[in-house]
Amino acid sequence: MSYLKVEIFIPAENSEELITALNQAGLLKDGNYDYCYAATPVKGHFRPLDGANPFIGEVGEIAEVDELKVEFRIKAVDRKIAEMVILEKHPYETPVVNFIGLV
């Protein structure tokens, strides 16, 4: 079976809703456990450009945000489900999500 490591960067105050939705979708389950993930505090930086509709910050200004990097492992076949849940629950117009193949 093939697995992916998923990394999501999200404002700390918005993480609980996303984590709950991921768990309800069965994506944070591993064996007889659920809510299997790690969360690390990070500082996110970005500058919305013309045409952006930022959730945080102002167009043309660099923003610094207290975020969490949420990491977990999924079966590769569940990637589309993960993408749907993330896009539905993530507040950013363009969320940063990394899917990394595991050997």
Question: Per the confidence metrics, is the pTM higher than 0.75?
Answer: yes
pLDDT computed for residue 74 by the predictor: 98
Could you tell me which residues come within 8 angstroms of residue 27 by beta carbon, excluding any fewer than 6 positions away?
72, 74, 78, 81, 82, 85
Quick: pLDDT tens for 30-87: 999 999 999 999 999 999 999 999 999 999 999 999 999 999 999 999 999 999 999 9
Q: Are 72 and 38 in contact (CB under 8 A)?
A: yes
Instruction: Judge whether residue 1 has pLDDT over 90.
Output: no
Q: For the chain, list the domains and their CATH numbers.
A: 3-102 (3.30.70.120)
